[in-house]
A and B are shown apart, each in its own frame.
Chain A
Amino acid sequence: MTDKAKRQRIRKILYWGLPVLAILTVVLAWVLFSASHPELMPGPVAVWNRLLRTFTKPIGRINLLGHAWASLKRVLSALVFAWAFGISFGILIGWNRTARAIFGSIFEVIRPIPPIAWIPLIIMWFGIGETAKVLIVFIGTFVPLVINTSTGIRAVDEINIHVGQVFGGSRFQILTQIVIPTALPHIFAGIRTSVSSGWTTVLAAEMLGATAGLGSMVTKGWNGGDMALVLVAVITIAVVGFILSTLLSKLEKVVCPWNN
C-alpha cells in the first residue's frame, strides 16, 4: 500500500518535474554557451536589453512592433489575393475534369518550384518594392491553397452528391451547397498551411532586400555582427507565428462550428 503510494508520488514528481527540467536545461545551456562564446550567442540578458533598445533606438525609425506589422501587412495583403484566387482555382480544377486536365497540368509543372526560388525573378521584374514582396508571398500561399482545396473537393464522398441529385439539386447547387461546404475542413487546412508558408516566405523576401520588416531586422543584425538583434528578430518571428496559428484554430471553430 505504502509502496504503491510511493510509486505514485515518484510518478507525479516525474510528470511535472520533467518539463520544468527540460526548460531549465535549455536556459542553462543558453547561459553557459553565451558566457563562453558571447560573439556567437548573446545571453538572455543581452537579448532582453537589445529587445528594449529596439523601442528606445528604433531601427530605421521603426520600432519592433512596427517591423512586425510591416511583415504582417505583406502577408495579409498577399493572403487576401491568394485566398480569393487559390480557393476558386482549387474548386475549379477539383470539380471539373476538363479544367483539371488543361489548367491542372500547368499548375503541376509550376508547383515544384519553391516559392523562394521565385524571388530573384520577381525582383528582376518588379524591383524590391512592396509589389514584389507581396507577389512572392502570394506564390508561397497560393500553392498549398490550390492543392488542399482541389484535394478536398475530389475527396467528397459520392453519396453526398447522390443526396443532392435525389433531392433535385442542379449541378451548381450541389457544388455550392453540398460539395464546397463538405470540403471546408480541407480548405481550412489549406488556409492554415498558406498562413505558415506565407509567414516563412515573407522573411525570405525581406532578408533579400527590404528596409522594414522582421526579415530585414535579421539581415541588419547579421550584417552588422549584432547577434542579439538577430535573436530578437527570430524570437519575435516565432512568437508572431505562434499567435497566427492560435488565431487560426480559433477562427476554424467559428467558421466550422459543426466540426468540434
Chain B
Amino acid sequence: MAIDQNDLQRRHAEYLTRKKKENLKYTLLSVLGILLFLGIWQLASITGLADPKRLPAPTTIFQTLIYKVGNTAPDGNTLFVNMLASLQVALSGFGVAILIGVPLGLFMGWWEYADRFMRPIFELVRPVPPIAWIPLVVVWMGIGLQAKAMIIFFTAFVPCVINSYTGIKLTSRTLINVSKTFGASNFEIFYKVGIPSALPMVFAGIRVALGNSWSTLVAAEMLAASAGLGYMIQIGRTVARPDIVIAGMVTIGATGAVLSGLLSAVEGRFLKWQTRH
C-alpha cells in the first residue's frame, strides 16, 4: 500500500499540535474578551468617565464581595446567609415542582382521561406569568419561606408539566406496538418505554424550570423578603450602594450558573445510564 503508517503517525502528531494550538488560541481570545470588558470598565471608573456613585470599578465590587462575606451591613445578613436563604427557597419550591409536575405531566401524556381532566385546568393557569403569582401568594400565605417556595413552585411547575407531557406524547408508536406484541401491560410500557423516551424532554423542562425558579426568586425577594440575594440588591438600591447591587448581581449570576452546571452533570449521568440499558 502506498500509505506509510509512520507518515500517518507523524501527521497525526502534527494534527494534534495544530488542534491544541487552535484551542489555546480561542481560549486566550475568550479570556481576552472578558479582560477587555473588565479593563474598559475599570478604566472608565479610573478616568472618571463613569461616575463611581453609579458604576463602581470592578475592583471596588470585588472588595465589596470580600467585605460582604464577613459583614452584615447594609442589609443585615452576610453574603452566605443571603445565598443560603435564596437557595433554600428556590430549591424547595423547585424540588416540589419536579416531584409533582413531572409525574403529572407523564400521567397526563399517557392516560387520555387524565389528560382530558387536567388539561383545561392547566391551560387556564399556564398563561399567568410567574411573577403575577407573587401578590396572590403573599396575601394568602405571607412572606415566609413557605409562601416564597409556593411562588417558585408555580413558576417551576408549568415547564415541568408541559415538557413531560410533550415528551411522553412523542413516544414512538412503533416501540409501543412492539412492546404490546410482546405482551407488556399498559403500565409496563409506560415505565419501560414511555418514561425513558421522554427523559430528554423532561430534563429540558427541568432546565427551564430551574431558570424560572432562580429569576422569580429574585423578584419575590425584591418584592417581599427579609433576607436573600434579591433582598440584598433591593436594599443596596435604597441605600444608594451600587457596589452592593452589582456584587449581589454577580453572586446571583454565579450561583445560577453553578446550579445549571450541576443540573447538566445530573442530566449527563441520567441520560448515559439510560442509553446503556
Contacts and interface: CB of A to CB of B under 8 A. Distances in A.
Partners in one complex: yes
B34 A106 contact: yes
B254 A112 contact: yes
Interface in B185-235: 211, 214-216, 218-219, 222-223, 230, 233-234
Contact of B117 (A19, A101, A200, A222): A19
Contacts of A115: 215
Contacts of A230: 135-136, 139
Identify whether the interface residues of B are mostly helix, strand, loop, or mixed. helix
Contact of B222 (A103, A112, A119): A119
B31 interface: yes
Given A40-B139, A114-B256, A124-B240, A15 B116 contact: yes
B139 A208 contact: no
A30 to B, nearest CB: 11
A250 to B, nearest CB: 16
B136 A234 contact: yes
Nearest to A111: B253
B138 A101 contact: no
A172 interface: no
B57 interface: no
A124 B237 contact: yes
A45 interface: no
A102 interface: yes
Interface string B88-124: 0000000000000000000000001100111111001
Counting from the closest, the 4 A-B pairs by CB-CB distance are A114-B215, A101-B29, A120-B237, A105-B30
Interface of B: 26-27, 29-34, 36-37, 54-55, 112-113, 116-121, 124, 127-132, 134-136, 138-140, 211, 214-216, 218-219, 222-223, 230, 233-234, 236-237, 240, 242, 245-246, 248-250, 252-254, 256-257, 260
12 contacts: A18-B116, A22-B121, A102-B32, A109-B253, A116-B218, A117-B248, A120-B245, A121-B249, A124-B245, A218-B132, A219-B135, A227-B139
